[in-house]
Structure 1
Amino acid sequence: MKLVQKGDTKLINAWAFYDWANSVYSLVITTAIFPIYYESVTNNNNGKVHFLGTDFNNASLLSYSLSFSFLMVALLSPILSGIADYTGNKKKFLQFFCYLGSFSVISLFFFKGQDTLWIGIVGTILASIGFWGSIVFYNSYLPEIAPPEQHDRVSAKGFMFGYLGSLILLTFSLTMVMKPEWFGITDASLPARISFVIVGIWWMGFAQITFYHLPNNVFNKKPQKEYIFKGFRELRVVLASLKELKSLKQFLTAFFLYSIGVQTVILLAGLYGKKELGIDTSKLILIILLINFVAIFGAYLFSRISEKIGNISTLKITIALWGGICVAAYFLNAKSPNIDAQFYALGATIGMVLGAIQSLSRSTYSKLLPETQEHATYFSFFDVTEKIAIVVGTFIFGFVGAITNSMRDSFFILAVFFLLGFIVLSTMQKPNSVK
């Protein structure tokens, strides 16, 4: 295979295509079909389910399961990324987590109800570990495939590819779920379960394009024996350097605070709409489609805005909008005659800032990195920050929901974290690369 240079369009497109491959997981599995399917097959006995000898609220169990998966990624990714940077084999780690995630998604086909709840929970945990574990190594390629001045656009391109691919597959899956008779399907649970299989095949299949073109061992590292211990040493070196990089520390602090809100809303908004607001499943699905359609334009728009006013100022705009979304969600009333229109408006707003804040966070962090060859290790701290934020966010969401028997108060608490993230970002020392 011919080696392509940094900034080459083919290389950038191949990298961005992994977003096309894996984003179907985050849309179909974590946001759309699986949460709705999970709620429908576990809503007997007033939503109480039995797992590991304990009774849980079904929504809380799903939230706790996701929290556990993110905690595992947070513990593993720094260690594995240190090894990957030392050995120069981070593409192999990317492939491993991709296959773990895709096969775990396929296993959800066998989750049919309370009797097979363990398959649904274990499959959810392993699929989440596979998805988020692969993202660490995928993101770390950004400084190696494009120069800093292209990072905003390249990062946005990845998310745009992801949303577009997700919309295509989700549209097909939803057609099968809503019109099973068109496919000769009579089992009510089968369309959703087939979609889980299709997601896994799509993910691992299209990822082959990325795997073929992405280089491995860019810096021609020749690891010696005991590479596990050398990987730990690599990790310690990067951790020590973070203490000296004040702007990077401040950004990670702000990123942690607002990610508590962003990722929790992404993961549980669909469940909130169905369970708390009583949004009809067909309308909820249309709202999810709307969110991801608008997100394509949002990622593009805010990448251009950042070129005009800088990354930090643009991020502050998106954070303010996210805080407003949480406050608006808190005040939504299921009894309102206009609840459907209100939830559509909220969904459109989420879509506008969804891709924007994710894309800008990735590119801003990339621009703040020092000259280094340890990109995977540095990005593992970015990923760990996000995963710990998700653990905190999903746990708070589930815990507050369990105490109050309502998901509404959780949104108000999430708004506070957006406010704190805005404050930290406003006091951050801004180098020229991100102003």
Structure 2
Amino acid sequence: MNKSVISWALYDWGNSAFATTVMAGFFPLFFKQYWSAGSDVTASTFQLGLANSLASLLIIFIAPALGAIADQGGARKGFLYACTLLGAGMTGGLYCVAQGEWLLAALLYVGGSSGFFASLIFYDALLVAVATPERYDRVSALGFALGYLGGGLLFALNVAMTLQPHWFGLADAAAAVRVSFLTVALWWGLFTLPLAFWVPEPPGGGRRGLAAVADGFRQLRATFHEVRRLRHIGLFLLGYWCYIDAVDTIIRMAVDYGLAIGLPAESLIVALLITQFVGFPAAVLFGRLGERLGPRTGIYIAIVVYCLVVLWAARMETAAEFYLLAVVIGLVQGGIQSLSRSLYARLIPADKSAEFFGFYNMLGKFAAVIGPILVGWVSLASGEPRLSLLSLLVLFALGAWFLSRVNIEQGTRMARELE
């Protein structure tokens, strides 16, 4: 692996701290027990789902346009820096939110999530700048693997801070959680620096300022027509839309679900740490699996495992079961994400990578609008959180079916012809 590949992957090491400490770990826990103190448990679940969905809606409206403008202006890295500043800044702002101020916490979380999701458009688009097509699977998997390791290491430190706050000169666990949000912001910013120095900016259309914006929107209209015409990209995006909805919902709502069925908060945090450290070697292995068997086969394997996880989780009773499910999810979570990214990179023109990855992230986040609200609404309407999980099986099945209709060889050939 050369310097540019490692530098690119280290951005995942940095920004994954938001996904672990904030999105999957402390925010849902702190939101329910501190910022929504005194509220009904089902109401706070619905509020959390709504905040997640609002962040996704923002990305839906801006992702393709941002990608097209970045392609035209050769500004993928510049857009990534702006999104990182937004995400890290809003995350650090959570430190200042007092107990009971759930609305302010939710708004800052929406801002932080929007910066995080938008940065992924440009990070994913830079894959084509650091790797050749035959290396996409391995390099994409390296990014996710380092993300699990880096995010897991900071999360482990943050967990230690909450369990033993006096070791760190903090008053109590609540103070430790608030300081953890600051550490995420600093960690994210620090590990953006290698990408800034050693990852090349792919050439753009040579336009700047308002000209790049105008050209970007013109290119966006043309790409809408291309996506409709390029059948294999469209089928892949439909499949991805379905199965990643279910995956993202499991990631975002796992801690809230565990609390709702009565599992202790400490057990849920330990389970998240297990997932992170299992995910590190598993993501690397899935990259090798993608090279050997093909990325689609690897995605199918992950979908089958996720379906078994959902069926098991719907009847789960003990923290030990939650731990075991965390191990199983860790084995496939990075794999389904990394192989989806590398398969899509094969199907798109390299010179329009940010724009096409804008569509990719838009559909992923559009799916995430439905999933969290669906889980929250079913839980609220039925009073039984377990019932909401089974709806995810339909999404996994639809995703696998659409994916089976993609002709990867033909799609790759058409993408090269468009460059």
Q: TM-score, normalised by structure 1?
A: 0.91
Find out whether 1:234 has 2:227 as its counterpart. no
Find the aligned partners of 2:217 and 2:208 in 1 and give their Cα distance: 13
Match of 2:384, SS state, is coil
Q: Which runs of 5+ in 2 are unaligned?
A: 413-419
What does residue range 185-200 of structure 1 map to in structure 2 within 5 Å? 185-200=170-185
Find out whether 1:106 has 2:99 as its counterpart. no
Find the aligned partners of 1:44 and 1:18 in 2 and give their Cα distance: 35
Q: Where does residue 78 of structure 2 map in the other structure?
A: 92
CA contact (8 A) 2:300 2:400 kept: yes
Find out whether 1:157 has 2:150 as its counterpart. no
Relative distance call for 1:248 and 1:217 in structure 2 (3 A) is closer
Find the aligned partners of 1:122 and 1:307 in 2 and give their Cα distance: 42
Find out whether 1:317 has 2:296 as its counterpart. no
Deviation at 1:220, TM superposition (A): 6.6
Find the aligned partners of 1:224 and 1:389 in 2 and give their Cα distance: 32
| RMSD, aligned CA | 1.7
The counterpart of 2:391, out of the listed 398, 402, 413, is 413
Find the aligned partners of 2:204 and 2:62 in 1 and give their Cα distance: 23
Paired AA for residue 421 in structure 1: G
Q: Where does residue 417 of structure 2 map in the other structure?
A: none
**What per-residue deviation string (whole Å, max 9, x for no partner) do you get for residues 239-263 of structure 1?**
1111222111111111001011000
Find the aligned partners of 2:209 and 2:403 in 1 and give their Cα distance: 41
**What per-residue deviation string (whole Å, max 9, x for no partner) do you get for residues 4-31 of structure 1?**
xxxx711111111100110000000011
Match of 1:243, SS state, is helix
Q: TM-score, normalised by structure 2?
A: 0.94
Match of 1:373, SS state, is helix
Deviation at 1:63, TM superposition (A): 0.8
Paired AA for residue 29 in structure 2: I
Paired AA for residue 354 in structure 2: A
CA contact (8 A) 1:299 1:352 kept: yes
Q: Which runs of 5+ in 1 are unaligned?
A: 1-7, 49-55, 334-338
CA contact (8 A) 2:92 2:181 kept: yes
Find the aligned partners of 1:248 and 1:423 in 2 and give their Cα distance: 14
Paired AA for residue 286 in structure 1: V
Q: Where does residue 399 of structure 1 map in the other structure?
A: 377
CA contact (8 A) 1:63 1:394 kept: yes
Relative distance call for 1:75 and 1:219 in structure 2 (3 A) is closer
Find the aligned partners of 2:239 and 2:313 in 1 and give their Cα distance: 22
Q: Where does residue 10 of structure 1 map in the other structure?
A: 3
CA contact (8 A) 1:106 1:200 kept: yes
Find the aligned partners of 1:237 and 1:267 in 2 and give their Cα distance: 34
Find out whether 1:431 has 2:409 as its counterpart. yes
Q: Where does residue 25 of structure 2 map in the other structure?
A: 32
Relative distance call for 1:268 and 1:373 in structure 2 (3 A) is same
CA contact (8 A) 1:42 1:58 kept: no
CA contact (8 A) 1:136 1:383 kept: yes
The counterpart of 1:207, out of the listed 181, 185, 192, is 192
CA contact (8 A) 2:374 2:388 kept: yes
Q: Could you tell which deviates more after superposition, 340-349 or 425-434?
A: 425-434
Match of 2:408, SS state, is coil
- Of all paired residues, the percent bearing the same amino acid is 31
Find the aligned partners of 1:219 and 1:239 in 2 and give their Cα distance: 19
Find the aligned partners of 1:90 and 1:27 in 2 and give their Cα distance: 25
Q: Where does residue 4 of structure 1 map in the other structure?
A: none
Relative distance call for 1:87 and 1:273 in structure 2 (3 A) is same
Deviation at 1:146, TM superposition (A): 0.7
Relative distance call for 1:257 and 1:225 in structure 2 (3 A) is closer
CA contact (8 A) 2:162 2:172 kept: no
**What per-residue deviation string (whole Å, max 9, x for no partner) do you get for residues 25-78 of structure 1?**
000001112211112114543526xxxxxxx81111111011011110110111
Number of equivalent positions: 412
Q: Where does residue 181 of structure 1 map in the other structure?
A: 166
